[in-house]
A and B are shown apart, each in its own frame.
Chain A
């Protein structure tokens, strides 16, 4: 459904994404893992059609990503991009005007599930509340692919539980979800596949339950063995 072929992005002398070929299928929640600066965000932005690759391509259902695919690929970035005067509700209206597949009804239901008041002004919200609102804005779209960059960062335990529930509710068999986070434990039970990226290079894609069953290893263990000692252990 979403596939990058020999995808590379260079920023000056630095190679952020290095020749990554990776195919992802619907019906799964992928966790994209790697320390800060390993290229996760850059890969996602290229898949979202927001950043142009230096070489290689990303395909959505066989077609190169671009203006067309943005209708089907929802991306939540880490940067906040809301105006000070906006309320939670007006942020929804903004999305509603911008995205054909946005559902105000779904948005309002998700807000209520996550205990947010749509009349609140965004500038008065805690970072956890903003994180929940951003999740609701993204998941209220009826997209085919949802890419959430750092959905658990800087927020408390209860908000994390609510975000996990919102993600699981959105995960239907025909959709593909991709979460990036360095909070590995948060994703251990909700993801079923892990994509490990180190210094822009794809290390491996693993089925998590199979890894637990066959190797007796958790996603966090695997993360440590890949990134912990600077060496990849087979």
Chain B
């Protein structure tokens, strides 16, 4: 099972697709699989797959053209805004983890600056 079974699966798939759009793995204007193919591809219930597209459409990240299928938005501002939002969320997670270890924002910045000199960045 590739999902956290305690959280809604539609939300986890939405986040994965958003991730692919932000990294460019799925390009602007690219056609997405039909709902039932999405279900097979992600190994999820077809109703969950339908919910995934409803949510992506609601957020303006994809659009369904009648009889044509579902496409990623070509609006680069929308994609850019999504990237900003996801980066903010990643930063939040990072800071939250450090706070749990008793480290503050300055510690975070110091750790990041030290990281610059290593091969991992």
Seen from chain A, the residues whose Cβ lies within 8 Å of a Cβ on chain B are 27-29, 161, 164-165, 168-169, 171-173, 185-186, 188-192, 208-209, 212-213, 216-221
Contacts and interface: CB of A to CB of B under 8 A. Distances in A.
A212 B9 contact: yes
B39 interface: yes
Nearest to A191: B45
Contacts of A191: 45
Contact of A212 (B6, B44, B47): B6
A212 B7 CA distance: 5
Nearest to B2: A189
A221 B6 contact: yes
Contacts of B31: none
B42 to A, nearest CB: 8
B45 A189 contact: yes
Given A188-B3, A189-B3, A168 B9 contact: no
Nearest to B7: A212
20 contacts: A27-B47, A28-B47, A29-B45, A161-B43, A164-B43, A165-B40, A165-B43, A168-B43, A171-B36, A171-B39, A188-B3, A189-B42, A189-B45, A190-B43, A208-B45, A209-B10, A209-B47, A212-B6, A212-B9, A216-B7
B46 A189 contact: no
Interface residues of B, number: 20
Given A189-B3, A208-B45, A218-B5, 19 more contacts: A165-B43, A168-B36, A168-B40, A168-B44, A169-B40, A171-B46, A172-B36, A186-B1, A189-B1, A189-B2, A190-B44, A209-B10, A209-B47, A209-B48, A209-B51, A212-B5, A212-B7, A212-B9, A221-B5
A149 B63 CA distance: 39
Given A168-B39, A185-B1, A189-B1, A216 B47 contact: no
A189 B44 contact: yes
Contacts of A220: 5
A221 B1 CA distance: 15
A189 B45 CA distance: 6
Interface in B73-100: none
B104 to A, nearest CB: 30
B8 interface: yes
Contacts of A189: 1-3, 5, 9, 42-45, 48
Contacts of A190: 43-45
Contacts of B42: 189
A191 B9 CA distance: 11
A218 B47 contact: no
B92 to A, nearest CB: 20
Contacts of A209: 8-10, 47-48, 51
Interface string B35-74: 0100110111111100100000000000000000000000
